[in-house]
Amino acid sequence: MPEYCKRCGSFMKVKETRGDVVIYECPVCHWTKEVTNSKVSQERSAIVLDKPVSMMVVIDEAKIKRRGTIVKVQCPKCGNLGAYVEIVQTRAADEPPTRIYKCTKCGYTWREYS
């Protein structure tokens, strides 16, 4: 069972164990507490997210051009049939990647979600 500091409310960590006695120490104010119990166990905590964390994808246009991968796809802005392409994993790993295109003629950038 987790122990909390009576002074500052922080989660206490196990400092040492002597037989059935466990000594907890607060990492913030260093207050200690002795607990006598034969079934004391140290628990781990985890953060569970209810919904995905939003993220921003920054497009490095120089990186797209450096890679030099040009595909035959029509630009929605000027109609040119050539664009640099970069494939980026913008969503969860079990979902398909996003293709980011940059027109070789006008420089317009657009995305295609597979």
Residues tagged active-site: 94-95
Q: How far apart are CA 41 and CA 46, in angstroms?
A: 16
Cβ proximity of 59 and 72 under 8 Å: no
What is the spatial distance between Cα 72 and Cα 84, in angstroms, rounded to a whole number? Answer: 9
Q: Is the Cβ–Cβ distance between 14 and 54 less than 8 Å?
A: no
What is the distance between the alpha carbons of residues 24 and 32, in angstroms, rounded to a whole number? 5
Supply the DSSP symbol for 53.
P
Per this entry, what is the length of the chain? 114
